[in-house]
Amino acid sequence: MHGLRREYTGAAIDENRLDADPVKQFNAWFEDAAELPEPNAMTLATVDAGGQPDARTLLLKSCDARGFTFFTNYRSAKAGQLADAPRAAMLFFWGPLHRQVRIRGRVERTTRAESEEYFATRPRESQLGAWASPQSEEIASRDILEQRLAQAEARFAGRPVDCPDHWGGYRLVPESIEFWQGRPARLHDRIEYRRGEDGHWARRRLAP
Protein backbone atom coordinates (compact mmCIF):
# COMPACT_ATOMS: atom_id res chain seq x y z
CA MET A 1 0.00 0.00 0.00
CA HIS A 2 2.85 2.39 0.75
CA GLY A 3 3.58 2.65 -2.96
CA LEU A 4 0.11 3.82 -3.89
CA ARG A 5 0.07 7.55 -4.49
CA ARG A 6 -2.05 9.92 -6.52
CA GLU A 7 -1.27 13.54 -7.17
CA TYR A 8 -4.13 15.95 -6.50
CA THR A 9 -4.43 18.75 -9.04
CA GLY A 10 -7.68 20.48 -8.13
CA ALA A 11 -8.14 24.19 -8.58
CA ALA A 12 -7.70 26.42 -5.55
CA ILE A 13 -10.67 27.35 -3.40
CA ASP A 14 -11.27 31.07 -3.85
CA GLU A 15 -12.67 32.14 -0.50
CA ASN A 16 -14.15 35.27 -2.04
CA ARG A 17 -16.35 33.13 -4.26
CA LEU A 18 -17.64 30.82 -1.55
CA ASP A 19 -21.22 31.24 -0.44
CA ALA A 20 -21.66 32.65 3.06
CA ASP A 21 -24.10 29.80 3.71
CA PRO A 22 -22.25 26.45 3.77
CA VAL A 23 -25.41 24.48 2.95
CA LYS A 24 -25.76 26.47 -0.27
CA GLN A 25 -22.06 25.91 -0.93
CA PHE A 26 -22.54 22.18 -0.38
CA ASN A 27 -25.37 22.14 -2.92
CA ALA A 28 -23.14 23.93 -5.43
CA TRP A 29 -20.42 21.31 -5.00
CA PHE A 30 -23.03 18.56 -5.15
CA GLU A 31 -24.15 19.84 -8.55
CA ASP A 32 -20.53 19.63 -9.71
CA ALA A 33 -20.49 15.98 -8.58
CA ALA A 34 -23.90 15.11 -10.00
CA GLU A 35 -22.55 13.05 -12.91
CA LEU A 36 -20.40 10.85 -10.68
CA PRO A 37 -21.67 7.41 -9.58
CA GLU A 38 -23.88 7.87 -6.51
CA PRO A 39 -22.71 11.36 -5.57
CA ASN A 40 -25.05 11.27 -2.57
CA ALA A 41 -23.21 8.30 -1.01
CA MET A 42 -21.67 9.31 2.30
CA THR A 43 -20.05 7.76 5.34
CA LEU A 44 -22.10 8.25 8.50
CA ALA A 45 -20.14 8.01 11.75
CA THR A 46 -21.81 7.51 15.12
CA VAL A 47 -20.73 6.36 18.58
CA ASP A 48 -22.26 3.66 20.76
CA ALA A 49 -23.09 3.83 24.46
CA GLY A 50 -19.60 2.57 25.32
CA GLY A 51 -17.87 5.24 23.27
CA GLN A 52 -16.94 2.91 20.42
CA PRO A 53 -17.04 4.68 17.04
CA ASP A 54 -18.96 3.10 14.17
CA ALA A 55 -19.31 4.01 10.50
CA ARG A 56 -21.18 2.88 7.41
CA THR A 57 -22.10 4.12 3.93
CA LEU A 58 -25.58 5.58 3.40
CA LEU A 59 -27.31 7.73 0.80
CA LEU A 60 -28.23 11.34 1.47
CA LYS A 61 -31.81 11.99 0.37
CA SER A 62 -32.23 15.73 0.86
CA CYS A 63 -30.32 18.81 1.93
CA ASP A 64 -31.86 22.16 2.80
CA ALA A 65 -31.61 24.93 5.39
CA ARG A 66 -32.81 22.50 8.07
CA GLY A 67 -30.01 20.00 7.51
CA PHE A 68 -29.00 16.75 5.80
CA THR A 69 -31.58 13.96 5.70
CA PHE A 70 -31.24 10.18 5.39
CA PHE A 71 -33.57 7.24 6.08
CA THR A 72 -33.14 3.91 7.83
CA ASN A 73 -34.64 1.29 10.09
CA TYR A 74 -35.32 2.71 13.55
CA ARG A 75 -34.41 -0.69 15.06
CA SER A 76 -30.98 -0.79 13.43
CA ALA A 77 -27.65 -0.51 15.24
CA LYS A 78 -27.15 3.04 14.01
CA ALA A 79 -30.59 4.04 15.29
CA GLY A 80 -29.77 2.65 18.71
CA GLN A 81 -26.53 4.60 18.74
CA LEU A 82 -28.28 7.79 17.73
CA ALA A 83 -30.82 7.27 20.51
CA ASP A 84 -27.98 7.06 23.06
CA ALA A 85 -25.87 9.83 21.53
CA PRO A 86 -27.82 11.94 19.01
CA ARG A 87 -24.77 13.38 17.26
CA ALA A 88 -23.02 12.23 14.09
CA ALA A 89 -20.56 13.07 11.34
CA MET A 90 -20.95 12.72 7.59
CA LEU A 91 -18.21 12.43 4.99
CA PHE A 92 -18.69 12.86 1.25
CA PHE A 93 -15.72 11.97 -0.99
CA TRP A 94 -15.82 12.84 -4.68
CA GLY A 95 -12.54 11.35 -5.87
CA PRO A 96 -12.55 12.45 -9.53
CA LEU A 97 -13.05 16.05 -8.38
CA HIS A 98 -10.39 15.76 -5.65
CA ARG A 99 -12.97 16.98 -3.16
CA GLN A 100 -14.48 15.95 0.15
CA VAL A 101 -16.93 17.52 2.58
CA ARG A 102 -17.07 16.79 6.32
CA ILE A 103 -20.20 17.63 8.31
CA ARG A 104 -20.78 17.34 12.06
CA GLY A 105 -23.77 18.13 14.22
CA ARG A 106 -26.73 16.90 16.21
CA VAL A 107 -29.24 14.44 14.79
CA GLU A 108 -33.02 14.45 15.10
CA ARG A 109 -35.79 12.34 13.61
CA THR A 110 -37.80 13.71 10.72
CA THR A 111 -41.56 14.00 11.13
CA ARG A 112 -43.67 10.94 10.40
CA ALA A 113 -45.18 12.77 7.44
CA GLU A 114 -41.74 13.33 5.92
CA SER A 115 -40.83 9.66 6.37
CA GLU A 116 -44.07 8.47 4.76
CA GLU A 117 -43.73 10.94 1.90
CA TYR A 118 -40.25 9.70 1.03
CA PHE A 119 -41.16 6.02 1.57
CA ALA A 120 -43.92 6.38 -1.03
CA THR A 121 -41.29 7.33 -3.66
CA ARG A 122 -39.15 4.23 -3.11
CA PRO A 123 -39.27 1.29 -5.54
CA ARG A 124 -41.78 -1.31 -4.40
CA GLU A 125 -38.98 -3.86 -3.94
CA SER A 126 -37.23 -1.51 -1.51
CA GLN A 127 -40.48 -0.87 0.34
CA LEU A 128 -41.03 -4.59 0.79
CA GLY A 129 -37.43 -5.00 1.88
CA ALA A 130 -38.01 -2.55 4.72
CA TRP A 131 -40.63 -4.97 6.07
CA ALA A 132 -38.56 -8.08 5.40
CA SER A 133 -35.26 -7.14 7.00
CA PRO A 134 -34.79 -7.09 10.80
CA GLN A 135 -31.83 -4.81 10.22
CA SER A 136 -28.67 -5.45 12.28
CA GLU A 137 -30.19 -8.52 13.98
CA GLU A 138 -28.58 -11.95 13.64
CA ILE A 139 -30.39 -14.27 11.23
CA ALA A 140 -29.87 -18.01 10.77
CA SER A 141 -29.68 -17.97 6.98
CA ARG A 142 -30.46 -16.08 3.78
CA ASP A 143 -33.58 -18.22 3.52
CA ILE A 144 -35.05 -16.34 6.49
CA LEU A 145 -34.91 -13.10 4.53
CA GLU A 146 -36.48 -14.72 1.49
CA GLN A 147 -39.30 -16.09 3.63
CA ARG A 148 -39.91 -12.71 5.25
CA LEU A 149 -39.92 -11.05 1.84
CA ALA A 150 -42.52 -13.54 0.59
CA GLN A 151 -44.66 -12.79 3.63
CA ALA A 152 -44.44 -9.05 2.95
CA GLU A 153 -45.35 -9.60 -0.72
CA ALA A 154 -48.42 -11.59 0.32
CA ARG A 155 -49.42 -9.04 2.92
CA PHE A 156 -49.39 -6.14 0.47
CA ALA A 157 -50.50 -7.99 -2.65
CA GLY A 158 -52.59 -5.74 -4.86
CA ARG A 159 -52.19 -2.60 -2.75
CA PRO A 160 -49.58 0.02 -1.82
CA VAL A 161 -46.95 -0.89 0.74
CA ASP A 162 -47.39 0.95 4.03
CA CYS A 163 -44.43 2.70 5.63
CA PRO A 164 -43.43 0.60 8.67
CA ASP A 165 -43.57 2.30 12.06
CA HIS A 166 -39.98 1.17 12.59
CA TRP A 167 -38.69 2.94 9.47
CA GLY A 168 -38.09 6.64 8.88
CA GLY A 169 -35.76 9.56 8.55
CA TYR A 170 -33.09 11.39 10.45
CA ARG A 171 -31.82 14.90 9.88
CA LEU A 172 -28.31 15.98 10.80
CA VAL A 173 -28.46 19.63 11.83
CA PRO A 174 -24.95 20.89 10.99
CA GLU A 175 -22.75 22.72 13.45
CA SER A 176 -19.59 22.56 11.32
CA ILE A 177 -19.01 21.92 7.61
CA GLU A 178 -15.56 21.62 6.07
CA PHE A 179 -14.79 21.81 2.35
CA TRP A 180 -11.58 20.07 1.26
CA GLN A 181 -10.00 20.50 -2.15
CA GLY A 182 -7.00 18.34 -3.07
CA ARG A 183 -4.00 20.41 -4.21
CA PRO A 184 -0.47 19.67 -5.44
CA ALA A 185 2.27 18.72 -2.94
CA ARG A 186 -0.44 17.72 -0.45
CA LEU A 187 -0.97 21.40 0.39
CA HIS A 188 -4.72 21.00 0.21
CA ASP A 189 -7.29 23.73 0.69
CA ARG A 190 -9.51 23.32 3.76
CA ILE A 191 -12.25 25.82 4.54
CA GLU A 192 -14.34 25.25 7.64
CA TYR A 193 -17.65 26.88 8.55
CA ARG A 194 -18.81 26.88 12.18
CA ARG A 195 -22.26 27.87 13.36
CA GLY A 196 -22.30 30.29 16.29
CA GLU A 197 -24.84 30.39 19.11
CA ASP A 198 -26.62 33.17 17.23
CA GLY A 199 -27.09 30.84 14.25
CA HIS A 200 -24.67 32.69 12.00
CA TRP A 201 -21.79 30.96 10.25
CA ALA A 202 -18.13 31.92 10.68
CA ARG A 203 -15.53 30.76 8.18
CA ARG A 204 -11.84 30.00 8.56
CA ARG A 205 -9.02 28.35 6.63
CA LEU A 206 -7.30 25.29 8.12
CA ALA A 207 -3.82 23.95 7.41
CA PRO A 208 -3.82 20.69 5.42
In tens digits, the chain (208 residues) has pLDDT values of: 888 888 888 889 999 999 999 999 999 999 999 999 999 999 999 999 999 999 999 999 999 999 999 999 999 999 999 999 999 999 999 999 999 999 999 999 999 999 999 999 999 999 999 999 999 999 999 999 999 999 999 999 999 999 999 999 999 999 999 999 999 999 999 999 999 999 999 999 999 9
193 and 94 in a common domain: yes
Q: Quick check: is 9 in a domain?
A: no
**Sign, Cα dihedral of 64, 70, 74, 76:** negative
Q: Quick check: is 145 in a domain?
A: yes
Domains: count for the chain: 2
111 and 69 in a common domain: yes
The helix (H) or strand (E) run that includes residue 31 is: helix 22-32
Beta carbons within 10 angstroms of residue 142's beta carbon: 8
Q: Which domain holds residue 152?
A: 121-162
- Catalytically annotated residue among 56, 186, 204, 205: 186
* 173 phi and psi angles, rounded to 5 deg: -90, 110
* Residue 186 is a catalytic residue: yes
96 and 134 in a common domain: no
- According to DSSP, the β-strands at 62-64 and 189-195 are unpaired
- Cβ density class 177-192: b for 16+ within 10 Å, e for less: bbbbbbbeeeebbbbb
Q: Per-residue pLDDT tens for 38-72?
A: 999 999 999 999 999 999 999 999 999 999 999 99
